[in-house]
Amino acid sequence: MSKYVKNLIADDLKNRLAGVDEALLVNVIGVDANKTVTLRQQLREKDIKLLVVKNSLALRATEGTPLGLAFEGLEGTAAICWGGEDFITLVKEVIELDKDTEYEAFAARCGVMDGETVSAERLREISKWPNRQEQLSILSGQILGPGANLSAQLRGPAGQLASQVKQKGEEDS
């Protein structure tokens, strides 16, 4: 491949990955063509993109970006996965596919999160974290919890007092 073609491919890859700060590298070697199509469809439904790249071209395209860390010293073929609602959701989906027996050769290799390289073992730990939506619901529960407790504590005695006044009113009638 000529240097001109390599530069064109690297520029196209740079444009595709513009604005992507967090991604995963996965192994798709050994997954047959039909299963790869099914795999890509499953990922596309969740707004996750999968792109098989040549390491040297990817390193050239991601040089100076947070994604460049993932390709430094990488050996073997890799595919890059990015997208989804947030990074945790992306990791959960990839790890779920990694465990799936239908795609035995599919495996998470590493990733980049917050400008740091993340190992495959660490990705398995991250997949157990709550995603953004779950974190927001936990946070709202923590914010609303004390207010609900206070409201219940204030209503309790007032309800008892109202009940006693009602009983006294019925006794006098």
Whether residues 32 and 50 fall in one domain: yes
Buried-exposed string 24-52: b where 16+ CB fall within 10 A, e elsewhere: bbbbbeebeeebbeebeebbeeeebbbee
Q: Which of the two residues, 171 and 129, has the higher pLDDT score? A: 129
What is the per-residue pLDDT for 125? 92
Residue 87 maps to which CATH number?
A: 3.30.70.1730
Strands 107-113 and 23-27: antiparallel
What is the per-residue pLDDT for 2? 85
Q: How confident is the model over 49-101, as pLDDT tens digits?
A: 999 988 888 888 888 888 888 888 888 778 999 998 889 999 999 999 988 88
Range of the domain at 37: 3-129
Whether residues 74 and 144 fall in one domain: no
Residue in the block written with tokens 């999160």: 113
Is 90 exceeded by the pLDDT of residue 47?
yes
The number of distinct structural domains making up the chain is 2
